[in-house]
Chain A
Amino acid sequence: MGTYLTKRLLLIVPTLLGAAALVFVIMRVIPGDVALLIFGGEAGGQIDAKQLADMRHRLGLDQPLIVQFGTWLWGVLRFDFGNSLWTGRPVIEELLIRLPLSLELAIAATFVSVLIAIPLGMLAAIRQDTWVDYLVRIVSIGGLAIPSFWVGILCILMLVIFFGWGPPLEFTPPWIDPWANFQMMVWPVVTVGYRYAAVTTRMTRSTLLEVLREDYIRTAWAKGLRERAVVIRHALKNSMLPVITLVGTEFAFLIGGLVVTETVFTLNGVGRFVVDAVAHRDYPVVQALIFLIAFGFVVVNLLVDLTYAWFDPRIRYR
C-alpha cells in the first residue's frame, strides 16, 4: 500500500500543475487584455491610456506571463486567489460564504439518491428480465435523459401552479431553522439527486448481476442459504466496490448538477457563483473556482482509487 500511495501522490503533482497552467491559459491568455475588459465593462467608451497602464500594473499584467503564472500559483498555495473584479472582495471570502449551501445540497443529494438507488438496483438485478427489471431500467435510462435544469423548472412550475408558492430565497442553515432550510432545499435536492440515483441504480444492477453469476454465489445457494442471506451478505457486499468508484465519477455530475440547479432555483451557492462570474467576465473568480473544482475532482478520484486499492489488494500490486 505504501509504494502505491507514494506513486499515486507523485502522479498528482504534475496533473495539478498542468491543470493550473491550463486554467491560466484559458482564463488569462486567450481572452486578451483583462485590464481593457475591466474598463470595457465599467466605462465602455473612452479609455485613458494612463489609466489602462495603471490598471495593468496593478493587476501585474505588465509582467512576463511566466512571472504572472508564478505569482498566481504562489497565491494559490496561500489560499489567496486575488480579488473579484465584480465586488472587489477576496475570492476566497466570497467562496466561503457560498460553500455551506452547496455542500449541504451535494451531501443531501448524494445521500438521498444512494438510499433510493441501491435497493432499486438490487431489486432489478434479483428479478432480472421481469417487468420490475424493465420498469427500473426504463426509469433509470429516462432519468439520464431528462436535463436536471428542466426537472428544476418543472418543480417550480408545479409549486407555483398548484400551490401558489415559491421556495424561500434566503439561505437558512439547518442548525438555525431546520424547517425553513428543508423548505428551501428539498426541491433542489430532488433536482440534483434523481440523476445521480439513475446512474447509481444502473451501476448497482449491472455489478450485482455479474456477482450473482460467480461460483461462490452458487455455493451459497447450494449450501441452502436463504435468498436474503445470499443477496445481502454475499452478493451485495462484493458488488459495492464499483459503486464506490461511481461516487468519484459522479462528483463531476454533481458539480454540473449544482451549477444548473442553483441557477434554476436562484440559490446563492458555488455553482451559481461560477455562472455569475462567467457572465460578469470576472476572470479571477472563474480561474480560482475552476482550478478549485479540478483540485477537488482530482482529490476525490484519488480517494476513490485508494479505497479501491484498500479493499482489493490485486490493484496495489499491478
Chain B
Amino acid sequence: MATNIEVAHATASATLAPKPTFAGVVARFARTKPLGAAGAVIILGMLFLAVFAQALAPYDPYVGDYGAQFQRPGAEHWFGTDEFGRDVLSRIMYGARIALFVGFAASLIGCTIGAFLGVISAYWGGRVDLLLERLMDILLAFPQLILALAIASILGPAVQNVVIAISIPVIPRVARVVRATALSVKENVYVEAVQALGATRRRVILQHIIPNIAAPYIIMLTAQLGAAILAEAALSYLGLGAAEPTPSWGLMLSGSAPSYAEKAPWIALFPGIAISLGVFGFNLFGDSLRDALDPKLKGRG
C-alpha cells in the first residue's frame, strides 16, 4: 500500500517536474530577476579580477616607483598612482582578493557557527537552550562594528584577525533566526513521526532539520557577504584591519588619501568605487536570491 503510493508519487512528480538543469535555472533567474543577475555579473567580475590579478595587473601592487608619484590617471596608469608611486589599478585588482577572502571567510565562519548553535539550541531545548540564548543576548548587546572593533584591537592588525573580528558578531544574529526556524520545523508532524519510529537525534537533525534551515542559511550568508566586505573596509580604514602594504581597499582610503585631496583626488576615488560596486553586487544578488528562495518575502526590499 505504502509502496504503491510512494511509486505513484514518484512517477507523478517525475512527469510533472523534470529535473531542472543548471543552465535552465540560471536562465530563469536572469529572466525573472534582472537586478539579481546584474549583481551576479558584478560578483563574477570581481572573482575574475581576484583570481587573475597576477596576470591582469599591469604593475606590482607592493612596489612603489618614487619617480612616478601622484601620476594622473592616463594611458600609463589607468587609475593613477599613489604617494609611493604604486599603481592604483593594480592595487585595486589585488584588493579584490582581500575583500573576497575576508567577505567569504567571515560570513561562512559566522553563519555556520551561528546556524550550528541555533540548531542545538532549538533541538536540545531546556537548559542548553536557555544558556545559549542568554549567551547570544550578551553578544547582541554590542553593535556589530563596535564588537568587531574591540576584538580587532586586541588581536592586532592582520587579515586573519579581521576575519575573526567580523565573524563573531554575526554568530548571534544567525543563531537567532536559525533557532526560530528549527523550532518551527521541529513541531512538524513528520518530525514527530520519525521520532516515534525511533530515529536518532543525529538522524533527525541531519535528515530533517538541516535541509529545512538551508534556505534561511543561504539567505543570511549572501546578505552577510556585502556587510562583511563593508566591515573589512571600515576596520582597515580605521587602522585595525589589514596592515600596510597590503592592498586592502579600506586601507587605501585611510591616512594619507584625503590629505592629498587637491593634488591627487583619484587616490581616494577609485578604491571607494571598488568597495561600493562590490558590495552593491552582493546586495543585489542577495536580495533577489532571498526573493527566489523565500516566496513569503516577495515584494520586500
Q: Give A contacts to B, CB under 8 Å.
A: 11, 14-16, 18-19, 22-23, 26-27, 30-31, 128, 137-138, 141-142, 144-147, 149-150, 153-154, 156-157, 160-161, 202, 205-206, 209, 251-253, 255-256, 259-260, 263-264, 274-275, 278-279, 286, 290, 293-294, 297-298
Contact = CB atoms under 8 A, between A and B. Distances in A.
Contacts of A150: 253, 268, 272, 275-276
Given A157-B261, A206-B299, A293-B143, A147 B230 contact: yes
B137 A26 contact: no
Contacts of A251: 143
Interface string B125-168: 00000000011011101111110011101100000000000000
Interface in B252-287: 253, 257-258, 261-262, 265, 268-269, 272, 275-280, 283-284, 287
B235 to A, nearest CB: 10
B142 A18 contact: no
A202 B301 CA distance: 5
Interface in B282-301: 283-284, 287, 299-301
A145 B226 contact: yes
Nearest to B39: A141
Q: Name the residue in B142, B145, B262, B276 with the highest tally of chain A Cβ atoms < 10 Å from its Cβ.
A: B142
A287 B197 CA distance: 53
Contacts, number: 147
A298 B141 contact: yes
B262 A161 contact: yes
Contacts of B262: 160-161
Given A278-B153, A286-B150, A11 B137 contact: yes
25 contacts: A15-B134, A15-B138, A19-B142, A26-B151, A27-B154, A138-B35, A144-B283, A145-B230, A145-B275, A146-B276, A147-B230, A150-B276, A153-B258, A153-B268, A157-B261, A157-B269, A255-B143, A256-B143, A259-B146, A260-B238, A263-B238, A278-B153, A278-B240, A290-B150, A294-B141
Q: Name the residue in B137, B153, B269 with the highest tally of chain A Cβ atoms < 10 Å from its Cβ.
A: B153
